[in-house]
Amino acid sequence: MWPIGELYSAGLLVYAVAALAGLAAHFRKKNAAWIAASLCFASLIAAALEFSASAGALIVGTELNWSLPSGIPFVHYGVRFDPLSAYFNLVLSLLAGCVAIYSIGYLKHGVAQRRPGLFCCFFNLALLSLTLVFTASNIIFFLIAWELVVVTTYFLVVTDHESVEVRKGGLLYILMSRGGTGLLYIGFLLLASVAGSTEFQALHHSGAKLSPALGAAAFLFLFFGFGVKAGIIPLHIWLPAAHPVAPSNVSALMSGIVIKTGIYGMARVFFDFYGDLPVWAGMLVLLAGVVSALLGVLYALMEHDLKRLLAYHSIENIGIILMGFGSALLFRSFGHPQLAALALVAGLFHTLNHGVFKCLLFLGAGSVLQGAGTRNMEEMGGLIRRMPWTALYFLIGAIAISGLPPLNGFVSEWLTYQGLLSGFGATSTLTRIAFPIAGALLALTAALAAACFVKAFGITFLALPRSANAERATEASLSMKTGMAALALACVVLGLGATWFIPAFAPITQQVFGVQITGQLVAGNGFLLTAGSVHNGSVSPLVLALALVALGAVPLMLWFALGRKSPRTTGPSWDCGLPGLTSANEYTATAFSKPLRMIFAALFRPRREIQAEFDVSPYYPKSIHFESEIGPTFETQFYQPLWEGFLALTARMRKIQTGSIHAYLAYIFVTLILLLLFGVRA
Partner 1 sequence: MIGRIFAVLFQVALVLLLSPLVTGFNRVLKARAQTRCGPSLFQPYRDLYKLLRKGMVIPDTASWIFSATPYVLFVTTLLASLLIPTVSANAPLSLFGGVLAVVYLLALGRFFLALGGLDAGSSFGGLGSSREMTISAIAEPALMLAVFTVAIGAGSTNLSTVAQSALGQSWRFLAPSQMLAFAALFIVLIAETGRIPVDNPATHLELTMIHEAMILEYSGPYLALIEWAAAIKQLVLMTILVNIFFPFGLSADWSPGPVLLSLALFICKLVLLSIVVALVEISNAKMRLFRVPELLAIAFVLGALALVSTFLFQA
Residues 585-614 that bind partner 1 (CB under 8 A): 585-588, 591-596, 598-599
Q: Does 287 bind partner 1 (CB under 8 A)?
A: no
* Closer Cβ to partner 1, 253 or 415, answer by number: 415
From 151-159, 247-255, 578-586, 639-647, give the range in contact with partner 1 by CB under 8 A: 578-586
Radius of gyration of the chain (CA): 26
Q: Contact at 8 Å (CB) between 445 and 293?
A: yes
Least distance CB 542 / partner 1 (angstroms): 9
**Non-local CB neighbours of 455 within 8 Å, separated by 6+ positions:** 301, 377, 589, 592, 593
* Closer Cβ to partner 1, 283 or 384, answer by number: 384
From 26-34, 53-61, 333-341, 528-536, give the range in contact with partner 1 by CB under 8 A: 528-536
Q: By C-alpha distance, which of 398, 406, 437, 404 is closest to 420?
A: 437
Least distance CB 558 / partner 1 (angstroms): 6
Least distance CB 604 / partner 1 (angstroms): 14
Q: Does 539 bind partner 1 (CB under 8 A)?
A: yes
From 249-257, 304-312, 573-581, 617-625, give the range in contact with partner 1 by CB under 8 A: 573-581
Among 114, 385, 472, 625, binds partner 1 (CB under 8 A): 385
* Closer Cβ to partner 1, 347 or 439, answer by number: 439
Instruction: Count interface residues toward partner 1 (CB under 8 A).
Output: 87
Q: By C-alpha distance, which of 632, 575, 623, 625 is closest to 603?
A: 632
Q: Does 497 bind partner 1 (CB under 8 A)?
A: no
Q: Does 347 bind partner 1 (CB under 8 A)?
A: no
Q: Contact at 8 Å (CB) between 311 and 253?
A: no
At 65, which helix (H) or strand (E)? Answer: strand 65-69
DSSP class of 639 = I
Binders of partner 1 among residues 549 to 568 (CB under 8 A) are 551-552, 554-555, 558-559, 562-563, 566-568
Q: Contact at 8 Å (CB) between 539 and 414?
A: yes
Least distance CB 101 / partner 1 (angstroms): 26
Q: Does 547 bind partner 1 (CB under 8 A)?
A: yes
Among 27, 574, 619, 678, binds partner 1 (CB under 8 A): 574
From 198-206, 404-412, 468-476, 477-485, give the range in contact with partner 1 by CB under 8 A: 404-412
Q: How far apart are CA 643 and CA 649, in angstroms?
A: 10
* Closer Cβ to partner 1, 23 or 581, answer by number: 581
Binders of partner 1 among residues 411 to 450 (CB under 8 A) are 414, 417-418, 421, 424-425, 430, 432-433, 436-437, 439-441, 443-444, 446-448, 450
Q: By C-alpha distance, which of 325, 365, 373 is closest to 345?
A: 325
* Closer Cβ to partner 1, 564 or 662, answer by number: 564
Start-to-end CA distance of the chain, whole Å, equals 49
Least distance CB 637 / partner 1 (angstroms): 24
* Closer Cβ to partner 1, 211 or 569, answer by number: 569
* Closer Cβ to partner 1, 326 or 495, answer by number: 495
Q: How far apart are CA 420 and CA 557, in angstroms?
A: 42
Q: How far apart are CA 520 and CA 40, in angstroms?
A: 41
| 55 to 49, 51, 60, 517: CA distances (angstroms) | 10, 6, 8, 19
Q: Map residue 530 onto helix, strand or coil.
A: strand
Q: Does 291 bind partner 1 (CB under 8 A)?
A: no
On the question of a cis peptide bond just before residue 406, with omega within 30 degrees of 0, the verdict is yes
Least distance CB 630 / partner 1 (angstroms): 17
Phi, psi of 312 (to 5 degrees): -65, -30
Among 367, 402, 408, 412, binds partner 1 (CB under 8 A): 402
Q: Contact at 8 Å (CB) between 64 and 15?
A: no
Q: Contact at 8 Å (CB) between 380 and 467?
A: yes
Binders of partner 1 among residues 443 to 482 (CB under 8 A) are 443-444, 446-448, 450-451, 453-455, 457-459, 461-464
At 581, which helix (H) or strand (E)? Answer: none
DSSP class of 660 = -
Q: How far apart are CA 444 and CA 205, in angstroms?
A: 36
Q: By C-alpha distance, which of 179, 176, 188, 187 is closest to 141?
A: 188
* Closer Cβ to partner 1, 134 or 461, answer by number: 461
Q: Does 577 bind partner 1 (CB under 8 A)?
A: no
